Amino acid sequence: MHNHTLKQLSSLLHSKQLSATELAQHYLARITSSTLNAFTHVEPDLTLQQAALADQRLASGDTTALTGIPIAHKDIFVTRNWRSTAGSRMLENYVSPFDATVVEHFNAAGMVTLGKLNCDEFAMGSSNENSYFGPVKNPWDLRAIPGGSSGGSAAAIAARLTPAATGTDTGGSIRQPAAFCGVTGIKPTYGSVSRYGMIAFASSLDQGGPIAQNAEDCGLLLNAMIGFDPKDSTSVERAKEDFNRDLSKSLNGLRIGVPREFFGAGLAADVEVAVRAALADYEKLGAILVDISLPKTELSIPVYYVIAPAEASSNLERFDGVRYGHRAADYKDLADMYKKTRAEGFGEEVKRRILVGSYVLSHGYYDAYYLQAQKIRRLIAQDFQTAFTQCDVIMGPVAPTVAWDLGDKSDDPVANYLADIYTLSTSLAGLPGMSIPCGFGQGEKNARRPVGLQLIGNYFSEAKLLNVAHQYQLATDWHQKTPE
């Protein structure tokens, strides 16, 4: 049952061969027996209440394609009844009085919430080792990281603890864990998914998206997830669309841009082999490979790690121990309470980024760092627009290597940052991007660690990306492989 796609589960539910309650119970049992640390909070009684309501809707015919299907939410989306912690001690026991807009959309579709998924603290990290609740383990190899910050989401999909999950992508945090866990994830165009109720990291970069087994599942989730939200000032007002409408289109004549900067020094040989093989498969499907250049790629890391910490520094000012969240037990005065609360509540990586962000926004450095970074960000976006005059979609690796071992880069934050080299530029430009499984690493250690192929499209081209991914998944079976 847990290996079924969303389309298959929907068919079983609507034909009354399976009830939403039975399905929820099945996944709750799998979650209970899991040792991956993928979930931060599960409330079986609440889940079964939602399942019972879904069964009532299924009986009455008041349904959508997703009614009765379980879903789990990255613990960066606030939810009523379930804790919303952002993976931080600062919000360890916080329960929101409202649902994030994304959660509301899925509730309205009749989906059943299984619980909240572990993530790097305030979504800051590439390995899911920064969570206050401990690291998530990669189900393909328990010694390995699952990727971050949506590591709990990707690991839960790979281990079949949930058929659908939400994630957020600020600099690659849907695509990279999807790649490391051998599942499919998509980051839509910035502004497509409401950020209302998404605990903010970097407001000009954060974007929600789905993680699932395959591209068709992601399209079904996007259909419910995307929509204009007047409560979010960055939400884009566009007509609703069916993101799976083009899945069956042929790829004959599709121009695939292959950036030479994605295949230079630093790319592991086994990752390149898998990605090149996937590109060859696309040629067999009728696509044409086009050599392109994204010359500002190497600048994406310094630009991102100026802009994102600056916005994080501003967004995290609200956590002061006064209104909600953690408060230090012993303090002398208000200033001392602020200092001790934030020192106790935030982890090391969050503190590091707050310090960097405060520095680049400070008097005398704003023009030298933050303003210059924003100018280069515009140049990065222009590089993509130039590239899209030569191709329809861009492809390359998601990350330079397969997943590394837990603890390998804990003492070297810069090494963690460098792992985002191929995903950051897409986020800085606000473009849609996705990861699909395309193979495994090589050698005794890496042979069971997945490799992801990155697809990047022009603005609002999610339907095209899903078509391109789906046709590849019809021709290959990487997305159907599961951990032992």
Strand-pair partners of 117: 39, 74
- The answer to whether residue 361 is domain-embedded is no
Q: What is the pLDDT of residues 125-156, one digit of tens each?
A: 999 999 999 999 999 999 999 999 999 999 99
Best CA proximity match to 286, nearest among 250, 249, 248: 250
Domain that holds residue 10: 6-225
- The answer to whether residue 12 is domain-embedded is yes
Contact between 100 and 198 (Cβ < 8 Å) = yes
- The answer to whether residue 272 is domain-embedded is no
Instruction: Compute the mean pLDDT over every residue in the chain, rounded to the nearest whole number.
Output: 97
pLDDT value at residue 410:
84
Best CA proximity match to 189, nearest among 469, 468, 464, 472: 464
pLDDT value at residue 465:
98
Whole-number Å distance between alpha carbons of 351 and 346: 6
- The answer to whether residue 65 is domain-embedded is yes
Q: Catalytic residue numbers?
A: 74, 149, 173
* Helical segments of 150-268, H only: 151-158, 175-181, 215-225
- The answer to whether residue 207 is domain-embedded is yes
**Residue 252 class from Cβ within 10 Å (0-12 exposed, 13-18 middle, 19+ buried)?**
exposed
- The answer to whether residue 156 is domain-embedded is yes
pLDDT value at residue 138:
98
**pLDDT mean over 205-224:** 98
**pLDDT mean over 173-188:** 98
pLDDT above 90 for 230:
yes
Q: How far is CA 313 from CA 248, 261, 273, 424, in A?
A: 45, 31, 40, 19
pLDDT above 90 for 416:
no
Is the pTM higher than 0.95? The answer reads yes
pLDDT value at residue 432:
98
Q: For position 97, which CATH number holds?
A: 3.90.1300.10
**Residue 136 class from Cβ within 10 Å (0-12 exposed, 13-18 middle, 19+ buried)?**
buried
- The answer to whether residue 41 is domain-embedded is yes
- The answer to whether residue 241 is domain-embedded is no
Strand-pair partners of 338: none
Whole-number Å distance between alpha carbons of 161 and 87: 19
pLDDT value at residue 453:
98
Token pair belonging to 428: 């800085």
pLDDT value at residue 364:
87
pLDDT above 90 for 414:
no
**pLDDT mean over 256-276:** 97
pLDDT category of residue 391 using cuts at 50, 70 and 90: very high
**pLDDT mean over 37-58:** 98
pLDDT value at residue 362:
92
Domain count, the chain: 1
